Structure 1
Amino acid sequence: MIQDLNLEIPRGEFVSILGPSGCGKTTTLNMIAGFNTPSLGDIRIRGRSQTRVPPERRNLGLVFQNYALFPHMTVADNVGFGLRMRSTPKAEIEPAVQAALRSVRLDGLGGRYPKALSGGQQQRVALARAIAPRPTVLLLDEPLSNLDLKLREAMRIELKEIHEQLGMTFVYVTHDQEEAMAMSDRIVVMWQGAIAQQGKPDSIYRSPATRFVADFIGRSNVLSVSKSAREAPFLHLTLEGSPIVLRSACVGGAQTIRSCCIRPECIVLLEETQADIVGQNQFDGVVRRIVNLGAHIELLVEIADGLRLTVLIRSGRSSFPPEPGSTVTLGVDPHDVQLLAD
């Protein structure tokens, strides 16, 4: 169920609607497409109300995760299907089909059938079919979810390049945060039928507004706060269940601060020569677990009874990582201690 959704998408923007299963993102897309009708409010495209306009007359392109290609039709016939349904003159269909195939880098494959194509090529045919009629908005519902990891990563780059080439408005639904971060001009994070936060990818990652967003976007250490007090220029946060006090440079409102978060890569493993950095939060902990991730090493460090932090450091440093059970000193810049709303 969607609750009080208020979303405006500028022309030409790549917007991703991101959230876990059941949060309302596909329902939102279906309302834009005309498959679902909102009980209240309005949907406008280029200033015109769409609530009484049937899906086929909204001038929208649709790309789904299952491609929905016709196996008995060639690539060119699949791409031209929407144009034929719109009674486009035959003389205009062929140039439009070829232009769409060029835009998705499938020149010369118009005579093949879908079964002769790879998964990535089939997805690009579905994309070409959607953009051939030059829709006002292109709606994409988890279009890469059926592809393997390497192909998904390659298609992310291609989709973004196609968007920049066409200058078309893209509304992209996904549960994959990496996809949203890699491609979007703006991310709309949904939770329980409402918008939890929206903004540029970097802004949402660096400054999550709630515990849900901090936990869902990337990896984060979410810490409960028992007490907060302002002592300019910092906000002092006492971590629940421990004597540890963190200084945060973030500006808190009038509301009570109940939690904060620190990204694992923002925690520094200090050597003796780096100790006593002015203004930095510093505290000791015991290494409980080490996981080698290749380019990075993940440490689980216990800083108080029952209070553990995930720390991410680069591989290849001569004196790191420490041994499990050893004591380390951690450092965190106050600007990296983000305040969260519940």
Structure 2
Amino acid sequence: MSTLDIELQSVTKSYGVVPVVRNMSLAVPPGEFVSILGPSGCGKTTTLNMIAGFAAPSAGDIRIRGRSQVRVSPENRNIGLVFQNYALFPHMTVAENVGFGLKMRKVPRAEMEGRIVEALESVHLSGFADRYPRELSGGQQQRVALARAIAPRPSVLLLDEPLSNLDLKLREAMRIELKEIQAALGMTFIYVTHDQEEAMAMSDRIVVMWQGEIAQAGRPADIYRHPQSSFVANFIGRSNLIPVSSFRSSADGTEILLGSSGLRLTSSDRPVADAPRFLCIRPESLRITGDAETASAGGNRLTGTLRRIVNLGAQLDLSIEIAPELSLSVVIPSSQSGLLPAIGEECRVFVAAEDVTLLSH
């Protein structure tokens, strides 16, 4: 038996002459929480539909626990599904909704009752078995949908933007709960979303899709700190993306000329193949410095003019102009507001060389 729960092997899906997913390969080991993340139209839902069996690949193979699923119908793939709309039967109780899939599989009544209790306990809904969907909150309804999906004990659970209908506070609470449930079950989750915060908060690994292809895959922290393209840098979090006009190797890494500004920065990155076209600096990697700090060695120091301060509560979002038509976004804790000059005055910023990422595209 394969050591992987899911394998996509050079999978392509086209509608007519239009490719929606292109030559996609992905390997998911047991118990991993993988988010497929990307903007609308990037191919993420099509990928999920091919794993579920609702769409057939135009080329390539999809394997679950080592067995090809291309000719296996959706109901025979032993996969659980949770959708954006809860799709609960309003005339059925919670227990009847959770047991519906088991009933279709003709699971013996005594075993079915035990599995319903077990599934409701796993989503923290013990005591809700006799209620109807209309008597539940949105978050509780979503947990019923989750319990219904896990009651048949599937190999893999596929989730298609299941939290998007919830309000912000409930969505944030359900992120934590969903990850805790997944960890407790030890089940493989494939989670489709366009919300990068959701993916960052829950995933063991993120697969970022763009125009039908995998733009980058890896641990959330690695993707955030080391994006491999300007698209990923922009899509995951916020970035200062600055064109590189020229570069040269130095003892500390790479020295970069910023556009036509005449300013230079040092990055600890070294170009491997293609020449860097952009550099990326996360706003929180920049910090405001005082006169004493500017004299210390190492890193990059820039002087600009403070143009804007936006108060975000716990943080301040600054815009600092370091050259004509070249401004940096800087995010600092609100507690450091005392370090700031008045708007329109000179402001010094520092960024470490390891926080300057070079991007070839």
Please state which band the TM-score falls in when normalised by the shorter chain.
Answer: over 0.9
Q: Secondary structure at the match of 1:298?
A: strand
Which structure 2 residues correspond to residues 258-273 of structure 1 after superposition, within 5 A? 258-273=277-292
What is the CA–CA distance in structure 1 between the aligned matches of 2:241 and 2:337, rounded to whole Å?
30
Aligned to 2:151: 132
What is the CA–CA distance in structure 1 between the aligned matches of 2:360 and 2:296, rounded to whole Å?
29
Deviates more, 1:54-63 or 1:322-331: 322-331
Aligned to 1:209: 228
Give the conservation status (yes or no) of the 8 Å contact 1:301–1:310.
yes
Aligned to 2:15: none
Q: Secondary structure at the match of 2:313?
A: coil
Q: Secondary structure at the match of 1:7?
A: strand
Give the conservation status (yes or no) of the 8 Å contact 1:297–1:321.
no
Q: Secondary structure at the match of 2:27?
A: coil
Pairing partner for 1:18 from 37, 42, 47: 37
Pairing partner for 1:229 from 248, 260, 263: 248
Which structure 2 residues correspond to residues 1-342 of structure 1 after superposition, within 5 A? 1-317=20-336, 319-342=338-361
Aligned Cα root-mean-square deviation (Å) = 0.8
Give the conservation status (yes or no) of the 8 Å contact 2:50–2:56.
yes
- CA deviation after TM superposition for structure 1 residue 217, in Å: 0.2
What is the CA–CA distance in structure 2 between the aligned matches of 1:289 and 1:41, rounded to whole Å?
51
Give the conservation status (yes or no) of the 8 Å contact 2:290–2:339.
no
Q: Secondary structure at the match of 2:25?
A: coil
Q: Secondary structure at the match of 1:3?
A: strand
- CA deviation after TM superposition for structure 1 residue 260, in Å: 0.9
- CA deviation after TM superposition for structure 1 residue 323, in Å: 1.6
Give the conservation status (yes or no) of the 8 Å contact 1:225–1:260.
yes
Deviates more, 1:246-255 or 1:39-48: 246-255
Q: Secondary structure at the match of 2:336?
A: coil
- CA deviation after TM superposition for structure 1 residue 268, in Å: 1.1
Deviates more, 1:165-174 or 1:233-242: 233-242
What is the CA–CA distance in structure 2 between the aligned matches of 1:120 and 1:104, rounded to whole Å?
11
Amino acid in structure 2 at the alignment position of 1:234: G
- CA deviation after TM superposition for structure 1 residue 229, in Å: 0.4
**Normalising by structure 1, what TM-score?**
0.99
- CA deviation after TM superposition for structure 1 residue 276, in Å: 2.2
Amino acid in structure 2 at the alignment position of 1:25: K
Check 1:46–1:252 CA distance in 2 against 1; reply closer, same or farther (3 A cut). Answer: same
**Normalising by structure 2, what TM-score?**
0.94
Deviates more, 1:83-92 or 1:25-34: 83-92
Greater fraction of residues in strand: 2
- CA deviation after TM superposition for structure 1 residue 338, in Å: 0.5
- CA deviation after TM superposition for structure 1 residue 251, in Å: 2.6
- CA deviation after TM superposition for structure 1 residue 320, in Å: 3.0
Query: Deviation per CA, 1:120-164, whole angstroms, max 9, x where unpaired?
Result: 000000000000000000000000000001100110010010011
- CA deviation after TM superposition for structure 1 residue 318, in Å: 5.8
Query: Deviation per CA, 1:251-306, whole angstroms, max 9, x where unpaired?
Result: 32131111110000000111112112312101111111110011110100111110
Percent identity, please: 62
What is the CA–CA distance in structure 1 between the aligned matches of 2:337 and 2:171, rounded to whole Å?
35
- CA deviation after TM superposition for structure 1 residue 328, in Å: 0.5
What is the CA–CA distance in structure 2 between the aligned matches of 1:59 and 1:117, rounded to whole Å?
28
